[in-house]
A = this chain, B = another copy of it.
C-alpha cells in the first residue's frame, strides 16, 4: 500500500491523490488514457489553486447538473459553455494552424445546415430582411498560399439577418434563406448578394447565461457571415467574416474574432458599381479574399 498511499508528491509537486488517480489509469485506449491523465492533472491543479470549500465544490457540481438539465436534442448547453469560455476557439485553433498567409479559421458555431446551391451573383436574402436591411455584395477570390487562384472551390455561406436570426430560428424566413453554396469561376472568383448581418445575443435563459452575468459579461456576438471553403487538395477552411464597425468586435461572447477576418462594408453609390452587380441602388461592398493551405502545409 505504501506505493499508492504514500505522502510523496508527484510531478510539479502534485498531491498524492493525484498520483493515485493517474496510477489507476489502465484502459486499452492509449489516446483516451493520455486525455484522462491530462484532464485529471489539470482538474486537480485547479482544486489545489483555488482550494474550494465543500460548499463551493457542491455549487459547481450543481451548476453542471443544471447545465445538463438544459440540454435537449436541439440545444447543447455544454457547447455554449465551451463557446463562452473560449474553449471552442482554442480547440479550433489547435486543429487549424497553417502558413502565415492562410486565412485563419474560426469556429463553426451551431447554426450550420445544408445550404441550397446557388449561381454566382445570386441574392441569398429572400426573406423579409430584403428591403428592410442594408444590401451588400460580398466578393473575392479563393487562392492557395502562393497566389494561385483556385477555380471550382466550393463556398458554403450562412448568416443571420438584420435582426440576428438564422432561418432555422425564424418562421418568417423561408428555408435556406441567407444560405448558399457557390462555386468559384475559372478565375477563382466568387460574388453574391445579401444583407448586412447584425450582432445578436447568445441564449441567456440557462446556466451559460447565468455564468455570463456572474462574470459581468454581455451575451453579444458581433455581426458576421460564416464561410466554409472546400477546394481539391486543400485543407477545408471554416471561418467567419466580421463587420468592421460592430461595437462588439472587441468582446465577442464566443471569442471568434481575428484581425484578418474583419472586413469593411464600404458604401457604393456609383452607377457603374450598382449595375455591375445588378443592385437597384446604393449598397455595401465587401472584398474578402480567401487563402487556403494544402493539407501538407498544415501544422500538426
| Residues of chain B lying within 8 A (CB to CB) of residue A214 | 27, 29, 32, 36
Q: Give the chain B neighbours of A89 by CB distance below 8 A.
A: 17
**Measured CA separation A35–B57 after assembly (Å):** 11
- CB <8 Å contact, B85 and A21: yes
Assess whether A188 is interfacial by the CB under 8 Å rule: no
Chain A 71-109, CB-CB to B under 8 Å as 1, else 0, gives 100001111001001111111111100000000000000
A216 to B32 Cα, complex, angstroms: 11
Nearest opposing residue in chain B for A259, CB measure: B5
Judging by beta carbons under 8 Å apart, are A42 and B40 in contact?
A: no
Closest B residue to A253 by beta carbon equals B24
Q: Which residue of chain B is the closest to A64 with respect to CB atoms?
A: B78
Q: Please tell me if the beta carbons of B91 and A57 are within 8 angstroms of each other in the complex.
A: yes
Whether the pair B90, A255 counts as a contact (CB closer than 8 A) is no
> How many copies of this chain are found per oligomer?
2
Q: Which residues of B contact A50 (CB under 8 A)?
A: 34-35, 38-39
Residues of B with C-beta under 8 A to A52: 35, 91, 94
Instruction: For residue A20, give the distance in angstroms from its CB to the closest CB of chain B.
Output: 5
Tell whether, in the assembled complex, residue A86 and residue B32 are in contact, meaning their CB atoms are under 8 Å apart: no
Shortest CB–CB separation between residue A264 and chain B, in angstroms?
14
Q: Is A47 an interface residue (CB 8 A)?
A: yes
A43 at the interface (CB under 8 A from B): yes
Q: A20-B255, A214-B29, A259-B1 are in contact. Are A65 and B61 (CB under 8 A)?
A: no
Complex Cα gap A64–B64 (Å): 8
A71 touches B71 (CB 8 A): no
Residue in B2, B47, B93 whose beta carbon sits within 8 Å of that of A15 in the complex = B93
Which residues on the B side are within 8 Å of A34 (C-beta)? 50
Cβ contacts A6-49/B at 8 Å (1 or 0 each): 00000000010110110011111100111110111011111111
Least Cβ–Cβ distance between A217 and chain B, in angstroms:
5
A3 to B88, CA, bound (A): 21
Contact across chains for A90 and B48 when beta carbons are under 8 A apart: yes
Q: Which among B54, B71, B249 is the interface contact of A95 at CB below 8 angstroms?
A: B54
Shortest Cβ distance from A58 into chain B, in angstroms? 8
* CB-defined contacts of A216 to chain B, threshold 8 Å: 25-28
Please give me the 10 A-B residue pairs with the lowest Cβ-Cβ distance, nearest first. A68-B68, A26-B216, A21-B86, A27-B216, A65-B71, A42-B46, A61-B78, A42-B42, A51-B94, A64-B78
Q: Which residues of A come within 8 Å of B, CB atoms?
A: 1-2, 4-5, 15, 17-18, 20-21, 24-29, 32-36, 38-40, 42-54, 56-57, 61-62, 64-65, 67-69, 71, 76-79, 82, 85-95, 214-217, 249-251, 255, 257-259
**28 residue pairs bridging A and B, Cβ less than 8 Å apart:** A4-B250, A5-B250, A5-B259, A18-B86, A21-B255, A24-B215, A24-B217, A25-B216, A26-B216, A28-B216, A36-B214, A38-B46, A39-B46, A39-B85, A40-B86, A42-B43, A42-B45, A43-B85, A44-B90, A48-B90, A61-B79, A61-B82, A64-B67, A64-B68, A65-B71, A65-B76, A68-B69, A68-B78
